[in-house]
Amino acid sequence: MTVDAIEEPFRTQLTVRLRDGHRLLGVDLPGPCTFTSTHGIDILWMGPDEYLVLAEPGRQAELEAALSRESDAVVDVSAQRNVVRLAGEHAADVLAHGCSIDLEMSPPGTCVQTLFARTGIVLMVREDGFTILVRQSFSDYFRAWLADASLEYAS
């Protein structure tokens, strides 16, 4: 198969509001429509003063405590979205079936909130594929749509 969709385990996801400042967790903040990664943590730009911090499962308390000292507000939204990694030779082709973002013009490090098959997602472009965050309530629909869009690329 030339497209792999892998659901990641329950990820730590924290929404952070920061009006002043240029760093979180010792890392420079990403600019609009980008994300930065360091030490297993992704920091996504979600809006002018809003960031989403992603990390492996079980780090909510640790990161929430650290971020509370550096920011205006921190909210644990770990249960809000499922995380899916999409990789393989035709991963961008599958996404193009349901997403209007021009992935050929989106370099690694790009992070956008968009619609995929009428479902709101957060799309991260990585060197080795894509990370997609989809709301829990749309996960079954998203998986079914993704499986259907992938059929023509199955070998």
Position 154 confidence tier, pLDDT thresholds 50, 70, 90: confident
Position 153 confidence tier, pLDDT thresholds 50, 70, 90: confident
pLDDT tens profile 2-58: 788 889 888 999 999 998 889 999 999 999 999 999 989 999 999 999 999 999 999
User: Which pairs with CB-CB distance under 8 Å and at least 24 residues apart come from 32-39?
Assistant: 33/110, 33/111, 33/112, 34/109, 34/110, 34/111, 35/109, 35/110, 35/111, 35/124, 36/109
The Cα–Cα gap between 109 and 94 comes to 19
Residue 1: pLDDT over 70:
no
User: What topology is assigned to 12-76 in CATH?
Assistant: Alpha-Beta Plaits (3.30.70)
User: Which pairs with CB-CB distance under 8 Å and at least 24 residues apart come from 58-61?
Assistant: 58/12, 59/12, 60/12, 60/14
**How does strand 111-116 pair with strand 119-126?**
antiparallel
Instruction: Provide the residue ranges of all domains of the chain, joining segments of one domain with +.
Output: 12-76, 80-153
Q: For 136, phi and psi rounded to 5 degrees? A: -50, -45
Angle in degrees, CA 46, 126, 43, rounded to 5: 35
The Cα–Cα gap between 154 and 134 comes to 23
Superfamily, domain 80-153 = Probable tRNA modification gtpase trme; domain 1 (3.30.1360.120)
pLDDT tens profile 89-147: 999 999 998 998 998 889 999 999 999 998 999 999 999 999 999 999 999 999 999 88
Q: Do 80-153 and 12-76 have the same topology in CATH?
A: no
